[in-house]
Structure 1
């Protein structure tokens, strides 16, 4: 589970508002500045397609610097002509500015064109037309940019039918000192496109997701509209989106926004009940499912709510340019919503909004900054246009806050949280977490002065475990709690919550001669369920299944990730001299066992000195201090074995449900699937998946001629298949980039596995030498992410380091804590994905992670204040990884 820190700010939802106007040398009346807006990083680009500086309606684009919206420069087509409508669409990202001119006549009357500029120098890099351009196509009606792709909508282009529409994808480079645009890579059309669908009227892209609107599609009646989601890199159509309540004339798909893996689609003539007020629909790009329908508060027919839409993280902004603000007819407005619930944050209407201004014709969000266009504003002449900036907009935090730094410690009199530690969550979204606390000194003094008995004073390093099982946040066990036997808790920690049946954690008791607690028996493992807190095992207590030997220490504690099995796995050491059946000594003082959450021993065979079942004379020797429990009830552990020769050998032992222990493999055993003479060395980690397939990482040895060297002597196995070997190339397209080391691995659903690996080779450096891979069901590897990868998060950033990963083996959900290549205020993020989505071929994109939380993002906190995320952490012990 993710832990985070929020810094309170003394601000309510009252954004600072500024107003921006365009510039013109030939009068501004009719220019409609503000009808198109794009923002990224330090730039804001605003189109005025009816600017007359060059010729009537030749068009122009104004570029402004960042949130200050200070004027930078004006772009006009060097070959502009009347009615070109240069600026009818615009996209800015990094150092690239793309401007559409749908009325350009170079390839035929209104065939359209797109101009590409380096925005920091204003240099024209290219003028693009479609490879199969034709008169009336209106190429450039819409444009979008990602870090390496330029997308152009051509809604009246031919793709199997007249005016069915198409989209063209070009290669580009937006970052670095030499921005560029390359060749046309592909033309994309709808798989079911029809005459006059206007596919490409709107386009939006984020990372590898491309969304295309077809507002005149007739699936739900004439002009009901639709939208399509594609893999931008392959051109594969993933989904066709239509609203659950679509109808004729709704024009769904007129506007689009994509952020991370969400798609917001505008339908400006959709109905809310009987009135065609307009609506916006939120969809998952990963599943295609409709998540929310956003409708205006107090809207009326003809408001055109959904004419423009924009997404940024947890916020959605929707424009309604013909909303009537009181008596101000068609003055317009914009609505801000928080996601994923779709709750209204507020309406954004400036104080000088006037009838007919058309506020909301264009909207754009970036972080907590919004810009709204009013292209019919009359400040500089009739319909000259303007735009408003809103800084800072924010919504409520999208997660439930359990405890907070500086707040009271729930159910602890006079306790204050000083540090939030590990936090875990089970399949029922219930949490188990640890935190440190201290006394609230002022409260303690006040209680003492009133004559009330003072509460116990917390020691300096006091800790506690809390859970929200049952709804409220309740204290489970904490420093100074007294157990039924009189023992006092000193500290608690290491929570694991992999089952809705119970969670587990560890505790240390204060030594006390009066209740018999000393250093040999002061540690314990506890389970917590909705009804009880119970000891699972305690050091110093004789265990009957181990011949009354007493546990000396717990090397590893795990819990099966299961909804039906909450067994606890313990890798242990035993206290020398204890035991009645056999006295514990150096030859039998380690092992691994499984217990129920109530402390009943389920399996304790894997103890040092015990015979290995069905092994013809082998015995368990020193345990490695590791144990793994799959959800099915199996067990895996690693230890030395004796009886295979004159010296002990390392081995991995497994046990499936209703079966006995078996030796899965052992040292010097031939390495399956590798060249003859290659042998198993020392196992570095092992686990079982839900079907009890053994997954393990091991070193390799080999005789002369086997080819084993120091550069390829490590391998990761999935069952009998060597999936990733040091020195092998994960991607055949990059044979010079090879695995250097396998860092960690996790089982996934079915035959999937996720692993983190170091790379070396051509082009590999410290900024891109770590990657996360999925072994798919078909056995092939698919890279989920790599350091150096670009990611969309209010503009683009790059992954600097992959810091921590966690995987849910049951359903394929995975989460990554990563540092980002950005300033210190925004350089951490939590990403997540799901490997159960998509498939092994055309829809792999759906399995990629997206940024969910980012350091530096503002949210509404207590009434009248805002809070900013200043830290993120991901617990390291929530699942059974190896």
Structure 2
């Protein structure tokens, strides 16, 4: 006999039927290749095009009637799996899985269970990661009637690696009804497990290669007939589990659960925004990065009970407005299967009648907008084909099952492979190579670098253009405009600039909304090497000189600036601070030629830094410690999002040597002071002393700084750390960040650090050493919280990354943090194909609460190699991403040098495409 392969709660006569068929088999093998145009509906930027479609059947002879190939599909960049749970190779309805080349559609091999038996339904669930495949056989009788089993295979040769079994001998558990895999971790849903309550459900976690049971997960509020585990998805240490029979609020309304697999703890529970009875929210479930796509096959969408599919942000728990089909039939089965990859989602509607009774369809959506992009239907659509019974997405390819396709035999089934399609690019283009450069007549952009963004979403960047032009362009005036460019006349700036113009521009700083800062070299009458450097500030394209070399500064006893070693900007006020060196002569000597100078947006020294300018100068008495005097300044300064700026400098006790190092601050409102001095005892390292201050950053009113220490037991492998002014050590060389799980793995050196606004928290990028550490996994980003008592590894080289090809993180190339919101961005290489080996990951360390720490980890947002529709409808792919360095040479970040990620999580990035287009783009937050 044939079986129902509906979810357990749908095996009833209420509008849903059981699939019955005969056991006849016929001999044929057909591969149909053709061109099909997408049907487009609604508001979209997707242009009609013709992807190649290949129809896949199993080859060879046999009686294939009723095999139901295409009941389940899974796809990576190399392999495509088609489950045939009712095939009879091994025994009647034992099942099998066909493996195809995802690039060409060529048949490779058939997988069967080594101990397959009648009615196992092997192939009802399939999943893939790299070269590993997991196949569910929920009808297997290994530990009891229909207790279920799962099998892991090496797809390169078809070899069975392991068999996974439930620990319970109960019958009808339907173990492996749903399966998922990430790296070497396998999830097997057992929705009818009775350990917590009758049919409450459970999910088993295994090591794919060894078959070892790692954990068994239950809902914290497990209840009767919740069917927890009916849908499962996994990405690294995050598991998303559907319980579509969960009853809280309404009977069978369903729920979604998020788990941290590193601890086995439930992180959150998510319900549909407006749940109702018989929605069955939670089946099926798929996961791509931080977005889960979740079916609610009984929900009222386009029509009563027509089905709705939701996009769920698993980090903040928000459920986006539902995706709905084009038709309004209550029995279309919309959401029977779902797939997601990047910003595209594919939804099966296997009983759609637009092309014939139950011919089926699949719908393509852009999850960044919710737009319906296309309706897929086969060119040979027929009644009762059930196209859309299973769907899969990977890159620019999609697979759609049609389990009752009759080409080979009645209900033999088939899979359609769609290649070379893409969706709209979910980014905003600011400008591109070849576009005209505003306010530079006859010049077109040729290259971009040093791209930044402020909290208003305004970008600022350095660019070169034809005709020898270079300069800074911004969106500070509301649209892209010249801020300053080579050749620009500076006479309007005043008498001191009469007849001058810009010769060369440098990297902009765009911390403050509406106001950007950049240094320039100028030329013209009276301009020479002693007075040709100027710091310009601008609202839009209205420039004002803030600081200039060679000009007498009244507040510095008419001394003249020789150079500016660092310039930083306040992100709340437009003020800037600069470390300087003065030109020798007229009272300026090597003993008083360095310091820090702060001005407002008009170049006026800050009034509350009194006496203006002189207070933070080498040779002067240190305020509040009048017997001590500043020595030489280090040439570093950092500015907070408040009135405070800080800087390191040497000082002389009682005006006498030897010089020692100190770390000091000043403020527009509260006056100056010191944070730490050489010889002070560092927090949490009793008996040691500070020796050298290596880097610093500041947020609000408190600093985080990097320093070297000396003392008993202090050696080269533990003589450096990062401290908070609030009185705690964040992390130290030689310290074990995770002694429980990785004993002996210690911090080797620091690469970057950021202070979050509350100053109780910071992020640290560090190199590691120790057992198991090598060049492929020796760099990690840590989140330090609770005054140093909690250390969480956010991301590490070698980590598994979400993606249909199951990549791993290669080299961490860039990190930037918005310290107010906790948003952060990681640019990294990925291990895998050279065509897809770079990605941008985004995360947030402030939103998740206690027990949800796993959700602080970053998720990949964009990948090299992803195909998109370019202007005019042509398809192109991302070739590379470019983010500027936002930390200084000591690794200090968020110190006033500009940012690439803002408070709202938007980032600015330069992207090069395979068609050689290079664009300045903003990546918005997907709502």
Same fold (TM over 0.5): yes
1:711 counterpart (705, 710, 717): 717
**Partner residue in 1 for 2:665:** 654
Contact 2:483/2:542 (8 A) holds in 1: no
**Partner residue in 2 for 1:504:** 517
Contact 1:651/1:666 (8 A) holds in 2: yes
**Partner residue in 2 for 1:422:** 450
Q: CA deviation at 1:23?
A: 4.3
Which residues of 2 match residues 368-407 of structure 1 at below 5 A?
A: 368-407=396-435
Question: Counterpart of 1:789 in 2: which secondary structure?
Answer: coil
Distance 1:504 1:185, change over 3 A: same
Whole-Å separation in 2 of the counterparts to 1:508 and 1:12: 50
Which runs of 5 or more residues in structure 2 are unaligned? Answer: 1-45, 493-497, 888-892, 897-927
Q: CA deviation at 1:471?
A: 4.0
Matched, 1:796 2:806: yes
Whole-Å separation in 1 of the counterparts to 2:328 and 2:371: 16
1:19 counterpart (55, 63, 70): 55
Which piece of structure 1 moves more, 131-140 or 538-547?
A: 538-547
Contact 1:292/1:341 (8 A) holds in 2: no
Which residues of 2 match residues 82-231 of structure 1 at below 5 A?
A: 82-172=118-208, 180-231=209-260
Q: CA deviation at 1:254?
A: 1.7
Question: Counterpart of 1:846 in 2: which secondary structure?
Answer: helix
Contact 1:611/1:619 (8 A) holds in 2: yes
Which residues of 2 match residues 764-783 of structure 1 at below 5 A?
A: 764-779=773-788, 780-783=790-793
Question: Counterpart of 1:648 in 2: which secondary structure?
Answer: strand
**Partner residue in 2 for 1:738:** 746
Contact 2:643/2:669 (8 A) holds in 1: no
Whole-Å separation in 2 of the counterparts to 1:149 and 1:405: 44
**Partner residue in 2 for 1:880:** 894
Whole-Å separation in 2 of the counterparts to 1:28 and 1:737: 55
Whole-Å separation in 2 of the counterparts to 1:700 and 1:226: 53
Matched, 1:492 2:505: yes
Contact 2:481/2:541 (8 A) holds in 1: no
Distance 1:505 1:292, change over 3 A: farther
**Partner residue in 1 for 2:12:** none
Matched, 1:726 2:733: yes
Q: CA deviation at 1:383?
A: 1.4
* CA shift digits 1:165-199 (9 cap, x unpaired): 11111123xxxxxxx13321222122223222221
* CA shift digits 1:688-740 (9 cap, x unpaired): 232x22211112223xxx11222222221122322222222222133322222
Distance 1:722 1:242, change over 3 A: closer
Matched, 1:866 2:878: no
Q: CA deviation at 1:217?
A: 2.0
**Partner residue in 1 for 2:581:** 573
Question: Counterpart of 1:625 in 2: which secondary structure?
Answer: coil
Q: CA deviation at 1:141?
A: 0.6
* CA shift digits 1:771-791 (9 cap, x unpaired): 211111252211112222221
Matched, 1:54 2:90: yes
Contact 2:400/2:416 (8 A) holds in 1: yes
Matched, 1:296 2:325: yes
**Partner residue in 1 for 2:17:** none
* CA shift digits 1:262-291 (9 cap, x unpaired): 111012232235443322111111111113
Contact 1:159/1:189 (8 A) holds in 2: no
**Partner residue in 1 for 2:544:** 534
Whole-Å separation in 2 of the counterparts to 1:756 and 1:68: 42
Which residues of 2 match residues 744-759 of structure 1 at below 5 A?
A: 744-750=752-758, 751-759=760-768
Distance 1:98 1:822, change over 3 A: closer
Question: Counterpart of 2:854 in 1: which secondary structure?
Answer: helix
Contact 2:298/2:308 (8 A) holds in 1: yes
Contact 1:714/1:726 (8 A) holds in 2: yes
Whole-Å separation in 2 of the counterparts to 1:109 and 1:489: 82
TM-score (norm 1): 0.90
Q: CA deviation at 1:333?
A: 1.4
* CA shift digits 1:550-576 (9 cap, x unpaired): 2221111112233xx232121112222
Which residues of 2 match residues 339-738 of structure 1 at below 5 A?
A: 339-438=367-466, 458-459=467-468, 462-483=469-490, 484=492, 485-509=498-522, 511-513=523-525, 516-530=526-540, 532-562=542-572, 565-577=573-585, 583-602=587-606, 603=609, 604=613, 605-644=615-654, 645-656=656-667, 658-676=669-687, 678-690=688-700, 692-702=701-711, 706-719=712-725, 720-733=727-740, 734-738=742-746
Q: CA deviation at 1:11?
A: 10
Question: Counterpart of 2:484 in 1: which secondary structure?
Answer: strand
Whole-Å separation in 2 of the counterparts to 1:190 and 1:685: 46
Question: Counterpart of 1:680 in 2: which secondary structure?
Answer: strand
* CA shift digits 1:640-683 (9 cap, x unpaired): 1123542111111113553222222222333343242x221111
Q: CA deviation at 1:531?
A: 7.6
Q: CA deviation at 1:810?
A: 0.9
Q: CA deviation at 1:753?
A: 0.6
Contact 2:464/2:471 (8 A) holds in 1: yes
Distance 1:657 1:160, change over 3 A: farther
* CA shift digits 1:803-858 (9 cap, x unpaired): 2211111111111121222233222221121110324x532111111111221111
Question: RMSD of the alignment, in Å?
Answer: 2.1
Q: CA deviation at 1:15?
A: 1.8
Distance 1:527 1:714, change over 3 A: same
Contact 1:858/1:868 (8 A) holds in 2: yes
Which runs of 5 or more residues in structure 1 are unaligned? Answer: 1-9, 173-179, 439-457
Whole-Å separation in 2 of the counterparts to 1:83 and 1:672: 66
Question: Counterpart of 1:833 in 2: which secondary structure?
Answer: strand
Question: Counterpart of 2:735 in 1: which secondary structure?
Answer: coil
**Partner residue in 2 for 1:336:** 364
Whole-Å separation in 2 of the counterparts to 1:323 and 1:434: 53
Q: CA deviation at 1:121?
A: 3.0
* CA shift digits 1:578-598 (9 cap, x unpaired): 6xxxx3222221111222122
**Partner residue in 1 for 2:825:** 815
Question: Counterpart of 2:872 in 1: which secondary structure?
Answer: coil
Q: CA deviation at 1:140?
A: 1.3
Contact 1:817/1:874 (8 A) holds in 2: yes
Whole-Å separation in 2 of the counterparts to 1:667 and 1:12: 68
Matched, 1:260 2:289: yes
* CA shift digits 1:204-232 (9 cap, x unpaired): 11112211112222234332222211112
Whole-Å separation in 2 of the counterparts to 1:344 and 1:707: 65
Q: CA deviation at 1:425?
A: 0.9
Q: CA deviation at 1:385?
A: 0.9
Question: Counterpart of 1:182 in 2: which secondary structure?
Answer: coil
Which piece of structure 1 moves more, 746-755 or 224-233?
A: 224-233
Q: CA deviation at 1:392?
A: 1.8
Q: CA deviation at 1:299?
A: 3.8
TM-score (norm 2): 0.86
Whole-Å separation in 1 of the counterparts to 2:476 and 2:321: 28
Q: CA deviation at 1:622?
A: 1.1
* CA shift digits 1:585-617 (9 cap, x unpaired): 222211112221222211332111221111131
Whole-Å separation in 2 of the counterparts to 1:319 and 1:274: 17
Contact 1:88/1:101 (8 A) holds in 2: yes
Contact 1:299/1:323 (8 A) holds in 2: no
Distance 1:316 1:469, change over 3 A: farther
1:313 counterpart (335, 339, 342): 342
Which piece of structure 1 moves more, 410-419 or 258-267?
A: 410-419
Which piece of structure 1 moves more, 407-416 or 593-602?
A: 407-416
